[in-house]
Amino acid sequence: MLRVAVLATLAIAAFCAPVPNSVEDIPAEYKSLIPKEVLDHLTGITAEEKAAIKELAAEHKTFKDETEFLAALKTKSPSLAEKVAKLQALLEAKYAELDESAKALIKKVVAKGRELHQDYLAGKKPSLETLKNLAAGYITDYKNLSDDSKATIEKNFPILTNFFKNEKVQALIGQHIPN
């Protein structure tokens, strides 16, 4: 379940965000939030592996599930498949460090992200109001976590914590979390 969730999150990020050509293209305020291991992974992707990613992304609708995608990735670029496996293991280890309340929130966010991604691929785009309501619900869930749960999320997933605390996001949905 977690492996699917992690890859779903990566897939959502890949399909929904503009992909920089290099790590240097990532704005400094975001790059500083990315764990060193992830930055190392990103900087270690070769031109051939980038080409494999683009080719597989163009064929995303042909894969029934994560297993098929990973098999195609392994065939297309064994070196990239190995790198993905290492990154996946890192993310699973970080997830394992969360307490149960934090794990429940992360699972909920990832499950909804996966659903939205599937809808997006099917041509159904969520309304801004739907996205605002989802974000408001997740921020409320985050606010209701214990300080210890918040700390485990902040330690292991600082980018997600930044989303929960981002003033622009909070202003957009009309909520505020004091720092």
pLDDT in tens, 29-43: 666 667 677 778 778
> What are 32-82's pLDDT values in tens digits?
667 677 778 778 888 899 889 888 888 877 888 778 888 999 999 999 999
**Global confidence as pTM:** 0.63
| pLDDT value of residue 162 | 79
Averaged pLDDT for residues 159-167: 79
| pLDDT value of residue 12 | 41
pLDDT for residue 3 is more than 60: no
3-state secondary structure of 111: helix
Averaged pLDDT for residues 89-117: 89
For residues 138 and 105, is the Cβ–Cβ distance under 8 A? yes
Averaged pLDDT for residues 77-88: 90
Contacts 24+ apart (CB under 8 A), 39-48: 41/83, 41/86, 41/87, 44/83, 45/80, 45/83, 46/79, 48/77
Averaged pLDDT for residues 80-87: 90
pLDDT for residue 7 is more than 70: no
| pLDDT value of residue 81 | 93
In the 8-state DSSP scheme, what is residue 125?
P
Residue burial 66-76, b: 16+ Cβ < 10 Å; e: rest = eeebbebbeeb
Q: pLDDT band at 120, cuts 50/70/90? A: confident
